[in-house]
Amino acid sequence: MPWLLVDNSNTRTKFALGNHEGLADNHFWLPTNELTPQILATELDGLHFQGALLCSVVPKTAAILHSYLGPRGPVHSLTHESDTGLSIDYPNPEQIGADRLANAIGVAHHHATPAIVIDFGTAVTFDVVGIGPTYCGGVIAPGLGAMQDYLGQKTALLPKIELAEPRAAIGKSTVEAMQAGAVFGYRGLIREIIGRLREEMQGDPLVVATGGDAALIARGLPEIHRVDPGLTLEGIRLAAVRNLR
């Protein structure tokens, strides 16, 4: 029987089934701010699993998930104290987000180290994984969606836009100008941070991107070597292998 794998992030909470061999195909997600015991009972009805691995960065929602899943079997919350297969080179490891640990586990197992994992979510995180594998730290910056939404919320005349590849740097409309600022500007931020991290790392790191905006931003950045949309869930599955025996 498989495990239930839960990626509880700020915007979306993703659910998947997995076992020692891999992930099942029936992934789905729910808006994190809408999770209630009633919604969970409806959406998880009919799923059969022998335990759950919870990767959460939202304490309030994590409590709801624990309360619902606990009676159905063992629930393990991914933290720095979990069996991750990683060494930790970080002064206060309790500050490392569970999603960042999952990404580090995934890249070490499925790609190579040293590595930089860039996760494009509500925030964009850069995680440095050294040979070992060792979790070494990283960078946290505002996510592309958060920057885009801020303009729409804080200015009187600028609309909320859909992100897309700009046709040119010189925008011929407000929307085109905002798309150019968002996409080209964000690529500049990502390029600069990758360069700084590489200067401080030993070896030639593989750069792997994941998360919602990864494909769009990586399209114009040769500094990003691979895009792996399922990296976080795969890291959660590997944590379940180690912690839900």
Q: In what order do the strands lie in the sheet with 134-142?
A: 87-88, 134-142, 123-130, 115-120, 206-211, 226-227
Express each pLDDT in 21-75 by its tens digit: 999 988 999 999 999 999 999 999 889 999 999 999 999 999 999 999 999 999 9
Write down the mean pLDDT value for the chain: 93
Give the whole-angstrom CA distance, residue 240 versus residue 78.
9
Express each pLDDT in 77-101 by its tens digit: 999 999 999 999 999 999 999 999 9
Q: How do the domains of the chain map onto residue ranges?
A: 86-96+112-230
Give the whole-angstrom CA distance, residue 17 versus residue 24.
5
| Beta bridge mates, 140 | 125
Give the whole-angstrom CA distance, residue 238 versus residue 245.
11
So what's the pLDDT on residue 157?
Answer: 64
From the list 7, 99, 127, 228, the catalytic residue is 99
Express each pLDDT in 166-181 by its tens digit: 999 999 999 899 889 9
Give the whole-angstrom CA distance, residue 117 versus residue 206.
8
Where does residue 53 rank: exposed (0-12), middle (13-18), buried (19+ CB within 10 A)? buried
Encoded tokens for 61: 């929602």
- The answer to whether 223 and 197 are in contact (CB under 8 A) is no
So what's the pLDDT on residue 162?
Answer: 81
Is residue 127 annotated as a catalytic residue, yes or no? no
The model's pTM:
0.93
Has domain 86-96+112-230 been given CATH number 3.30.420.40?
yes
